[in-house]
């Protein structure tokens, strides 16, 4: 990657010029301080490879949390003309509709701190974590089909949360176009027992508080104030989504041959959006999107139960409400202005978040004046951020921004660095009580395994694609 040409466009934007069979240039949002570390990762080559795909519009884009992924880099955004472009499972990722929900409460840090261990233990009891974790909730095949079609709406109808939650979820917790008939028996099997489970790896449920406010007006609109207790839920479509991706990578590998699509990397396998294979993947992906919406809705409901049990308080006194929920592994049909003209596009966001500007019709009415909330989790030892979408995103990134800190080292390297250390004790000494399903998870997820998310969000703000509203700091966390 050292030989890849990289041209500086502004202090926050770099470009790999179009060459060879690239259809468009690749653009990378990052500061000068970040770019050298990014150059040492194969992700830049992946960004250039994405630029080869048929029908890609304007640029192959990457956000400042860029790092290596399957086919597309994580932190990648690519929009394709719906008539001439392709859809690629590698551009969505294995964890379809992995996303983040933010809950805010009526409690303050001072209220909660003496009871944080009880609360974390209660959360660990209520929300199953770990690889292949199974929940208490078991659904029949017919109910599973309803989950695929209805998403979080299905969960609310089953008593998990309220209609008010739905108002503050991207797509209101249910996307159109799901077709359970295109889902494999193996995906049905893997999904049946995993609703309401957190999963493993970087998935977590974190209790924290509002530590800093940067935009008082936007914070007020979101109902956030200093020292207020918050909860972040970060997870996705579990084994169900993973299996959907696995199944359709096989379909797309055949489609590449069938349609004569030339690829620089077979992990970019894809199909024309309007082809039978492309349409079938879209229908299957929508099933997984809705599964993930339902999963987070159930976890949010069990989080409320855990608070009541640990704190011995009523739901009204705790007041846990959904501030917003965003997706960051998804491909969606959206209309954007390209060279002054409106175009219907299939926007892939893999490890990137939708960040629509103020006034966009997709934003909840209560937030229309400030822009779409954007939730950016960091690592378990430092901080996370709440942002809002900005005009720059609509002009330059198809309404997108970063999704998190982005890994700074591999899981293998993190485990090596953590060897001989007591990570849970180190965090507790810093006032953060952490419980995980395995020692291995804690070692892989040590804070230094991630970039400093403050640098990532600052780069996005300086580039004008999103704006900082508040910083959240952790008090306790359960890890998968």
SS (H, E, C) the chain: CCCCCCEEEECCEEEECCCCCCCCCEEEECCHHHHHHHHCCCHHHHHHHHCCCCCECCCEEEEEEEECCCCCCEEEEEEEECCCCEECHHHCCCCCCCEEEEEEEEEEHHHHHHHHHHHHHHHHHHCCCCCCCCCCCCCCHHHHHHHHHHCHHHHHHCCCCCHHHHHCEHHHHCCCCCCHHHCCHHHHHHHHCCCCCCCCCCCEEEEEEEEEECCHHHHHHHCCCCCEEEEEEEECCHHHHHHHHHHHHHHHHHHHHHHCCCCCCHHHCCEECCCHHHHHHHHHHHHHHHHHHHHHHHHHHHHHHHHHHHHCCCHHHHCCEEEEEEECEEEEEEEEEECCEEEEEEEEEECCEECCCCCCCCCCHHHCCCCCEEEECCCCCCCEEEEEECHHHHHHCCCEECCCCCECCCHHHHHHHHCCCCHHHHHHHCCCEEEECCHHHHHHCCHHHECCHHHHHHHHHHCCCEEEEEEEEEEEEEEC
Task: Give catalytic status of residue 336 as yes or no.
Answer: no
Q: How do 228-235 and 271-272 pair as beta strands?
A: unpaired
Specify the pLDDT at position 229.
Answer: 98
> How far apart, in whole angstroms, are the C-alpha atoms of residue 48 and residue 476?
40
Q: Which residues, in sequence order, are CB contacts of 392 under 8 Å at separation 6+?
A: 463, 464, 465
One of 242, 328, 348, 403 is an active-site residue; which one? 403
Specify the pLDDT at position 403.
Answer: 96
Let me know: does 356 contact 391? Beta carbons within 8 Å. no
pTM of the full structure: 0.96
- The token pair at 155 is 């969960």
- The token pair at 242 is 């993973």
> How far apart, in whole angstroms, are the C-alpha atoms of residue 458 and residue 262?
37
> How far apart, in whole angstroms, are the C-alpha atoms of residue 449 and residue 233?
20
- The token pair at 180 is 């359970």
> How far apart, in whole angstroms, are the C-alpha atoms of residue 36 and residue 40?
7
How far is CA 158 from its chain centroid?
A: 25
Specify the pLDDT at position 407.
Answer: 87
Specify the pLDDT at position 104.
Answer: 98
For every one of its 480 residues, what pLDDT tens digit does the chain have, with 9 covering 90 and above? 557 889 999 999 999 999 999 999 999 999 999 998 898 888 999 999 999 999 999 999 999 999 999 999 999 999 999 999 999 999 999 999 999 999 999 999 999 999 999 999 999 999 988 777 777 788 999 999 999 999 999 999 999 999 999 999 999 999 999 999 999 999 999 999 999 999 888 899 999 999 999 999 999 999 999 999 999 999 999 999 999 999 999 999 999 999 999 999 999 999 999 999 999 999 999 999 999 999 999 999 999 999 999 999 999 999 999 999 999 999 999 999 999 999 999 999 999 999 999 999 999 999 999 999 999 999 999 999 999 999 999 999 999 999 999 888 889 999 999 999 999 999 999 999 999 988 888 999 999 999 999 999 999 999 999 999 999 999 999 997
> How far apart, in whole angstroms, are the C-alpha atoms of residue 99 and residue 413?
25
Taking each helix axis from N to C terminus, what angle separates 116-126 and 276-311, rounded to the nearest 10 degrees? 140
Let me know: does 189 contact 124? Beta carbons within 8 Å. no
Let me know: does 458 contact 24? Beta carbons within 8 Å. no
- Token match 């599964």: residue? 291
> What does the angle CA 211 – CA 216 – CA 222 come to, to the nearest 5 degrees?
80
Q: What is the dihedral of CA 230, 65, 236, 228, to 10 degrees?
A: 0
Sign of CA dihedral 75, 76, 79, 82: negative
Let me know: does 197 contact 238? Beta carbons within 8 Å. yes
> How far apart, in whole angstroms, are the C-alpha atoms of residue 118 and residue 306?
9
Specify the pLDDT at position 465.
Answer: 98
Specify the pLDDT at position 201.
Answer: 83
Phi, psi for 226 (deg, rounded to 5): -55, 140
Among residues 133, 120, 118, the alpha carbon closest in space to that of 205 is found at: 120
Specify the pLDDT at position 151.
Answer: 98
Using a 10 angstrom Cβ sphere, with 0-12 exposed, 13-18 middle and 19 or more buried, the burial of residue 39 is middle
């Amino acid at each position: 990657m050292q030989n890849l040409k990289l041209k500086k466009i502004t202090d926050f934007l770099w470009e790999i010029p179009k060459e060879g069979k690239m259809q468009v240039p690749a653009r990378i949002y990052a500061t000068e301080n970040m770019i050298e570390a990014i150059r040492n990762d194969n992700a830049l080559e992946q960004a250039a490879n994405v630029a080869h795909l048929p029908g890609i519009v304007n640029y192959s884009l990457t956000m400042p949390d860029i790092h290596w992924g399957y086919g597309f880099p994580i932190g990648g955004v690519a929009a394709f003309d719906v008539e001439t472009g392709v859809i690629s499972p590698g551009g969505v990722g294995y964890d379809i509709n992995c996303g983040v929900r933010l809950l805010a409460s009526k409690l303050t840090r001072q209220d909660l701190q003496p009871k944080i261990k009880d609360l974390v233990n209660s959360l660990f009891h209520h929300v199953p974590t770990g690889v292949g974790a199974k929940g208490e909730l078991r659904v029949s095949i017919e109910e599973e089909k309803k989950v695929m079609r209805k998403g979080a709406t299905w969960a609310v109808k089953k008593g998990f949360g309220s209609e008010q939650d739905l108002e503050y979820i991207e797509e209101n917790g249910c996307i159109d176009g799901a077709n359970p008939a295109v889902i494999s028996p193996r995906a049905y099997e893997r999904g049946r027992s995993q609703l309401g489970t957190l999963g493993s790896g970087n998935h977590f449920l974190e209790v924290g508080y509002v530590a800093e406010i940067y935009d008082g007006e936007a914070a007020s609109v979101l109902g956030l104030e200093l020292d207020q207790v918050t909860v972040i839920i970060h997870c996705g479509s579990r084994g169900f989504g993973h299996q959907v991706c696995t199944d359709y990578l096989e379909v797309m590998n055949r489609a590449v041959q069938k349609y004569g699509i030339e690829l620089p990397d077979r992990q970019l396998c894809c199909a024309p959006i309007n082809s039978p294979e492309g349409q079938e993947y879209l229908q299957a992906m929508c099933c997984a999107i809705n599964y993930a919406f339902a999963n987070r809705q159930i976890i949010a409901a069990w989080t409320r139960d855990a608070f009541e049990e640990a704190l011995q308080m009523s739901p009204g006194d705790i007041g846990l409400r959904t501030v917003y929920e965003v997706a960051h592994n998804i491909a969606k049909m959206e209309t954007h202005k390209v060279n002054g003209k409106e175009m219907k596009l299939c926007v892939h966001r893999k490890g990137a978040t939708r960040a629509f500007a103020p006034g966009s019709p997709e934003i909840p009415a209560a937030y229309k004046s400030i822009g779409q909330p954007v939730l950016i989790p960091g690592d378990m030892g430092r901080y996370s951020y709440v942002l809002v979408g900005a005009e720059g995103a609509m002009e330059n990134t198809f309404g997108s921004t970063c999704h998190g800190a982005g890994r700074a080292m591999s899981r293998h390297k993190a485990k090596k660095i953590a060897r001989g250390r007591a990570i849970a004790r180190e965090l507790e000494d810093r006032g953060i009580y952490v419980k995980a399903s395995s020692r291995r998870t804690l070692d892989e997820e040590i804070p230094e395994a991630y970039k400093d998310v403050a640098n990532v969000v600052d780069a996005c703000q300086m580039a004008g694609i999103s704006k900082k509203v508040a910083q959240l700091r952790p008090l306790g966390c359960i890890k998968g």
